Structure 1
Amino acid sequence: MKTLQPLTTEQFVKNAKSEKELGIVDYEAFFSTQIKEAHNFAIGPYYWFIGDNSNMLITVASNNIGELSPFSKSEWENKPALFFVENIHPEDSFYVLSAIQFAMDRIVNLPSEQQTDVRINIYARMLNAQKVFRWVLIQMPGLYVNNKNLTTCGLMMITDLTHFNFNSRPILMTLVDKVNNKTEYYHLSLHNELKMENILLPHITKREQQLLQLMLRGLTTPEIADTLFISYHTVENHKRNLRRKTSTKTSVELVHYIMNNNLL
């Protein structure tokens, strides 16, 4: 069984910092496609920021970041990259850093044409605008890797999950490898020592993931059918198959299972 050990901020900085100059002037323009597409897969209110590993700085943040975090856009920008960690619950921060480092290591070892085919989803507790911890989904929709395979900047997206009620602590990380059609799931193990362990969960197809994202956004079966250009009965068949895979009886139970196990 694969395990991920937690990282301290010092270890993360040592691993993540790149000595390579970026040559990127407008970070927001560089990631403009990913930023524009973010709303298509967001399952709640979200904000984003871009981290520069060369200077270990947060270069730019979304205009609404002050509505979903304790700090305004101007307070986020030009802060040390790990200012982001100060907003994470102390019990979660070591594992978030470990998960990000694991994903970056996986990505930079892929051929350049495949580096956009790995996605990471991380659950953690972060501060909202009222400085109260709530669950969020941390994702990396975009990553820039230079020609020496050193990660040098990344787009981070934080989605608020206040509207979901978790029955238990969710799976900490999902790593989706589109190249090999494989998804790895890691949860926080409290046995003997704290670590993240790789566990087995049902395989969810790409079409099922699309359907689940729409369900999580509150769309009904007819609305999902129209959005995906499939029939009402096909949507219901997908839902039935998903309930069978997850041993759930209703759509509400299915949504809770998906969220608690970070299956997207």
Structure 2
Amino acid sequence: MHRSATPQRRWYGLVLSIVLLCVLSVIAVLGTRWAIDRAGVPLPTTPWGPACAVTAGDEQIQLDRDQARRATTAAVAADQGEDSPVQAPDTSDVPDAAMDVLENGPEEDAGPSLSCRSTKNPDLEVEEELEPSGLKPRAQNLKDGIEEVYTEPSLGGYEPGGYDTGHGEGSAHYDGRAIDAFFRPVSEENRRSGWVMAHWLIAHAPDYEIDVIIFDDRIWSTYYPSMGWRDYDADPDNEILRHLDHVHVDVQAGEEDPGHA
């Protein structure tokens, strides 16, 4: 009797372990959502399902990558009005609530509304040569992409020959991988326009091999692909370090080619 009961007890133990794991997972998810709601930032995307999500009030609207690309491009076009170099693409399949918050921002306060997950591309190699602008080829490609959808954007953070001072230690600016898009002076209107660009960047992150985006005390990166926008700690008295007046974006560095190590 003792030998026949042992497998049954083991089975019960396995079931109880699975149930306990499920309960702990639910508690973790609910706890994360509570913390995010208190922080006032959009929910992160899950590692499964659609790549992007728009937070509109208490509603989370999931979008696939193509919808997010088209929705954010339409928001860029709307933000620029008649000066926009691109026409708004068809967004009839994107819920009105999502388009409204992407174009106008949350009613009570400008801030992040779209979050997308994106991972590093393991096939990228390190780029050595600078373009005449002072940017590496991937960053130059991003600059060209921004200039295709924006009329005379105020871009900086690079110069012919490259930067070697003026930024924090280890900055991607020194490597020719970073661009700053300025929205000055710091104001509610420019803040909302900055978030329109930040959302366009996050929606197009895989297209331009984007690695990090920083704006308005928030940071997104491929290091934590499902966490969305996180708090960015900087000197509270320094608008530049807090990235209140500009959207910072850098592209992936790539990996050394093992054959040339």
Q: Normalized against structure 1, the TM-score is what? A: 0.25
Question: Between Structure 1 and Structure 2, whose CA radius of gyration is higher?
Answer: 2
Q: Normalized against structure 2, the TM-score is what? A: 0.26
